[in-house]
Amino acid sequence: MTRVLHLLPATSSSPPLVSFNRLSHLHSHPVLLKTDFSRLRPRRLVSTTITASVSVSTMDQEIVGHVKQQLSKLFEASLRTTVPDELDVEPLVVPCTGKFGDYQCNNAMSLYSRIKGKTTQFRGPPAIGQAIMKNLPPTKMIESCSVAGPGFVNVVLSTKWIAKSIQKMLIEGIETWAPRLRVKRAVVDFSSPNIAKEMHVGHLRSTIIGDTLARMLEYSNVEVLRRNHVGDWGTQFGMLIEFLFEEFPNWEGIGEQAIGDLQAFYKASKTRFDADPAFKERAQQAVVRLQGGEAKYHRAWAKICEISRREFDQVYQRLGVHLEEKGESFYNPYIPGVIEGLSKQGMVEESEGARVIFIEGKNIPLIVVKSDGGYNYASTDLAALWYRLNEEKAEWIIYVTDVGQQQHFEMFFSAAKHAGWLPSDGKAYPQATHVGFGLVLGDDGKRFRTRSTEVVRLVDLLDEAKNRSKAALIERGKGAEWSDKELEQTAEAVGYGAVKYADLKNNRLTNYTFNFDQMLNDKGNTAVYLLYAHARICSIIRKSGKDIEELKKTATVVLDHPDERVLGLHLLQFAETVEEACNNLLPNVLCEYLYNLSENFTKFYSNCQVVGSAEETSRLLLCEATAVVMRKCFYLLGIVPVYKI
């Protein structure tokens, strides 16, 4: 049975967004007062219980273009009418994969299992499905509904509504399609290289994945604090500083030439540290003097950090990544107060000379103070989490590291929950999440390295991608057609974009093989193919000779051809795709959407003449809408689009 609905869109009467205090003024290395620590308990008591799952869903307010959200509201209203006594039933709306509709509501079966045995008018799931369909509020977005099988309610969207929604986006901008998450402020902790060590391909995934997660959250109207938790504190600095003092007594007069190549300097100092017990002892004393605040040692430490930072920036500039550094040294002054507070709660115990927190279900404890009295990763991470919750007022703290650190984060988060910093059930806010990722492998299936067994420098890797991209462009004759600037910019966009996309298109939990030939291929699911597809769309619009901005104001989008409708519906699903990628912290979801968008456009363009057709103006607008959404996808993935090829 099928019936047609001609109705007005539902409106929202949802409660207002929950807001948190603004970010307090931050000061470098402040003293942690005992009164500050007392805020830990109240923080838990006012945790926001705004969702029943770890998923970060949008608020009830309508968002232009978010089809799944608007349909969910309609079905929610229907469910309240259909089963008024079942108040906690959430609508289960999913896109259809078959030919029966565009979306489907799948509540009937689970709902019948809840109400059977009670006094009910329904004799099975199909009857519930019929009632849900019948009780849908009036709306212009639905063209028809039908009930199939055990009560599945299939929805066919109005083609005119799809067309009008696309046209409205073209006029008002792609920002109107941004999902709005419940979270207002998040910390994304990513990249985080170690000072005095080269950034290598092992940092590639954290930097690229973290940047994309930050971009998606920012687009979704979340204030994101991008944090580079660099390793700038610890025993290795005693080794480096002592080596600097002994090799170059007049190092301040000589300047940076004393250190020279930081990698070579690090290796030389490490060799000395391992081979010379007396030097090792002096290096350990140097750590104590550095942490004690002696000016000479602090100046040497600052110089080493400065040189490292400049090397890191070479990578970040190539990748177009922006971070704010708050390294281990920033949180160091907070550690004593945090551990004291945990001790007062009875969580910290003595064990074999160290101070530890025993975690239920784990065979080993979380060491927070080493047997020599020093601090470690757990100490710093606890202090950093305390700061992010209580000073930066973050509701979601996201850590992007390799899967090998999973156990550390499980133990660290368990300690925070036991302390009352985080909700114990993991469903309310604030939340802390570890975003793990797999290894980057070479063609041999082993960890990606050069022939000398050294880990590949990230700068060299990115430069090679750019150079290969440039060579391919020159081979296509672009060296003669384009200016040097155009050639250089396109080579960078394609080369760096290829490296990013090859990483992001994979589920982050899996290992992936780094292969230049595959990632720079202009066919298949690669950044090169997608960038070229975007450039071809731009070329179609240019060759039409029409003013696309004027067409947005005067022309109308019409989706009469089946391939036009398929493309239009896919465009409209952009917002819910971004929301899904944010909820699950999976950039590959967005990559899959982008690739399918390109495939849908190719089919449309193959079967629907654009320039010179009777439908030219409408189809040019559909081309422009596709290009707009592609560009936003590229931006969220940190890829620079190209407009001609």
pLDDT tens track for 284-307: 899 889 888 899 999 999 999 999
Residue 31: what pLDDT? Answer: 37
What is the predicted pLDDT for the residue at 640?
98
Query: According to the model, what pLDDT value does residue 247 have?
Result: 87
Q: Do 110 and 239 belong to one domain?
A: no
Report the number of distinct structural domains present in the chain: 3
* Across 363-370, average pLDDT: 93
Any domain includes 576: yes
Cα–Cα distance measured from residue 387 to residue 132, given in angstroms and rounded to the nearest whole number: 48
In the predicted model, what is the mean pLDDT of residues 422-450? 88
> In which band, very low, low, confident or very high, does the pLDDT at 616 lie, cut at 50, 70 and 90?
very high
Given 92, 125, 157, the domain boundary residue is: 157
- For residue 248, give the amino acid letter: F
Residues 494 and 605 reside in one and the same domain: yes
Confidence label for 230 from pLDDT (cuts 50, 70 and 90): very high
Query: If pLDDT is split at 50, 70 and 90, which confidence band does 12 have?
Result: very low
CATH of the domain at 467: 1.10.730.10
Task: Say if residue 511 is in the same domain as residue 614.
Answer: yes
The SS3 of residue 159 is: helix
Which amino acid, 167?
Q
Domain annotation covers residue 175: no
Residues 95-107 pLDDT 10s: 997 788 999 999 9
Q: Do both 143 and 266 map to the same domain? A: no
- Rounded to an integer, the average pLDDT of 531-556 is 96
If you search the block for the tokens 């002994």, which residue do you land on?
246
Name the CA dihedral angle for 189, 193, 194, 199, rounded to a multiple of 10 degrees. Answer: 180
Q: Are residues 474 and 581 in the same domain?
A: yes
CA–CA separation, 411 and 415 (whole Å): 6
Boundary of a domain, candidates 124, 157, 190: 157
Percent of the chain predicted with pLDDT > 90? 71
pLDDT tens digits, one per residue of 317-339: 999 999 999 999 999 999 999 99
Where does a domain end: 302, 319, 336? 319
Shared-domain flag, residues 256 and 149? no
Q: 152 is in which domain, residue-wise?
A: 67-157
Residue 100 is part of a domain; what is its CATH number?
3.30.1360.70
Name, in order, each residue with C-beta under 8 angstroms of 130's C-beta and a sequence gap of 6 or more.
1, 147, 151
Lowest mean pLDDT among 28-32, 151-155, 217-221, 534-538: 28-32
Pairing state between β 366-369 and 152-157 = unpaired
pLDDT for the residue numbered 198: 81
490 and 633 fall within a common domain: yes
User: 543, 611 in Cβ contact below 8 A?
Assistant: yes
- Are 482 and 625 contained in the same domain? yes
Residue 1 lies in a domain: no
Q: What is the pLDDT of residues 450-504, one digit of tens each?
A: 555 566 788 989 999 999 999 999 999 999 999 999 999 999 999 999 999 999 9
Q: Which of 235-244, 419-428, 594-603 has the highest mean pLDDT?
A: 594-603
On whether both 615 and 498 belong to a single domain, the answer is yes
